[in-house]
Structure 1
């Protein structure tokens, strides 16, 4: 009885893993969803407020840029955040008849409309960009990447860039 139960659990696990792998390879999904949040983090507050008190920013612009094998831009799109600081972009999986390389796409912060909280930080990779790698969710025809959260901060909290001024970080993409 015990061996039968173990075998049943093992088979169930393998069937689930195979169906996930098939969904990963399935070519029927025509679009890729990219979403996340943009928040304002104020370093002038106490530790608890700084860590857990980040506020959503409405109207922040977030972009996605996709490049081909030769590092040429084949897709660019952007979205603005809603009241909750959330953004959602839908990217066609096929551009000009060719399949988009997800690992050639990266998402980054562009601008904040907040007059006080408008310095992009690299917490979560928002300033230099986050490469799309494995989706967070694959279900039937839905492929979704949930990123971030990305953060802006106040000018008072901005750390000076002490790195090499010729390296923008975007050259890695």
Structure 2
């Protein structure tokens, strides 16, 4: 959650996690069609996980999940902090980055991608400069 002190900026100074915040993670196939998506819910630390089934990399748009998938803010559980921000492209679609974390599965490799941080902002903030 973005603090009122930093509204209208991309700064997350003074921010706090927003457990229960919802994010969508859509992915496009090789023909640039959204064919997979997951709804993810932030944990108490503000992190979310969207697991996808086993998919060949060649099945993703441009053969790269980082180009094919993105994260978008959906909904806040806090009615006092439910305005979307485009911090790190949370409205447009935050690109994924490879975190370099891999482990073997049964005939496949698991890969961790990350996005963000993303933020909602308070729906009402006091004026910055009272008159």
Counterpart in the other structure of 2:121: 153
* Deviation for aligned residue 1:116: 0.6
Structure 1 spans left out of the alignment, 5+ residues: 1-39, 158-173
Is 1:81 paired with 2:35? Answer: no
* Deviation for aligned residue 1:58: 1.1
For normalisation by structure 1, the TM-score amounts to 0.56
Counterpart in the other structure of 2:79: 115
Per-residue displacement from partner, 1:81-108 (whole Å, max 9, x unpaired)? 111111011112428xx73341211111
Counterpart of 1:126 (choices 86, 90, 101) is 90
Per-residue displacement from partner, 1:139-172 (whole Å, max 9, x unpaired)? 3433111221101101235xxxxxxxxxxxxxxx
Per-residue displacement from partner, 1:15-70 (whole Å, max 9, x unpaired)? xxxxxxxxxxxxxxxxxxxxxxxxx012247xxxx743211111111111111243
Aligned-partner Cα distance in 2 for 1:73–1:139: 25
Aligned residue-pair number? 111
More strand by share: 1
Say what the alpha-carbon RMSD is for the aligned residues: 2.3
For normalisation by structure 2, the TM-score amounts to 0.72
Per-residue displacement from partner, 1:1-25 (whole Å, max 9, x unpaired)? xxxxxxxxxxxxxxxxxxxxxxxxx
More helix by share: 1
Structure 2 spans left out of the alignment, 5+ residues: 105-109, 126-131
Aligned-partner Cα distance in 2 for 1:66–1:128: 14
Aligned-partner Cα distance in 1 for 2:75–2:119: 11
Structure with max Cα Rg: 1
